[in-house]
């Protein structure tokens, strides 16, 4: 092996690895007649995120209109919008306080206690 073979082999390996990385990212090298190479984006075959989101939005919207909490949220929306417009920092503080309350009180752990109380008192949990 001569001194020139090492750098040439390294350059060739570097070019191969660059081409592999670019092809994984969706690009290909296009040689121009002027001898200058440029990169061109390959067409994608998978759907874009906007397409998946645009398909999911109506489904979620229909689900939300039939959700029991929908009416309560619709009633509270004007009040919340007014509060957010007049006192934005108070609105943020209220949200932070609600988050802290959720973390400290852990209401998702209450379900077994409520179910046990219902069994003791003869309530039906249907």
Token output for 36: 């200058």
* Residues 6 or more apart in contact with residue 30 via CB below 8 angstroms: 37, 38, 39, 40
Token output for 11: 């350059």
Give the tens place of pLDDT for each residue, 7-63. Answer: 888 888 888 887 777 777 777 666 666 656 666 666 665 655 566 777 788 888 888
Rounded Cα distance, 98 and 101, in Å: 5
**Domain regions of the chain by residue span:** 5-41, 69-126
Give the tens place of pLDDT for each residue, 92-118. Answer: 999 999 999 999 998 878 877 777 777
Cβ–Cβ under 8 Å, residues 29 and 37? yes
Which pTM value belongs to this model? Answer: 0.38
CA nearest to 114, candidates 106, 105, 123: 123
Rounded Cα distance, 116 and 75, in Å: 33
CA nearest to 46, candidates 73, 26, 16, 18: 26
């Amino acid at each position: 092996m001569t001194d020139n073979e090492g750098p040439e082999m390294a350059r060739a390996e570097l070019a191969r690895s660059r081409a592999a990385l670019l092809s994984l990212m969706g690009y290909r090298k296009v040689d121009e007649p002027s001898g200058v190479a440029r990169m061109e984006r390959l067409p994608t075959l998978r759907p874009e995120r906007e397409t998946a989101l645009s398909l999911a939005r109506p489904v979620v919207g229909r689900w939300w209109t039939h959700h029991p909490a929908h009416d309560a949220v619709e009633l509270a929306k004007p009040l919340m919008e007014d509060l957010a417009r007049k006192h934005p920092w108070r609105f943020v503080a209220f949200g932070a306080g609600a988050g802290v309350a959720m973390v400290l009180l852990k209401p998702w752990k209450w379900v077994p206690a409520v179910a046990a109380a219902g069994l003791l008192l003869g309530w039906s949990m249907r």
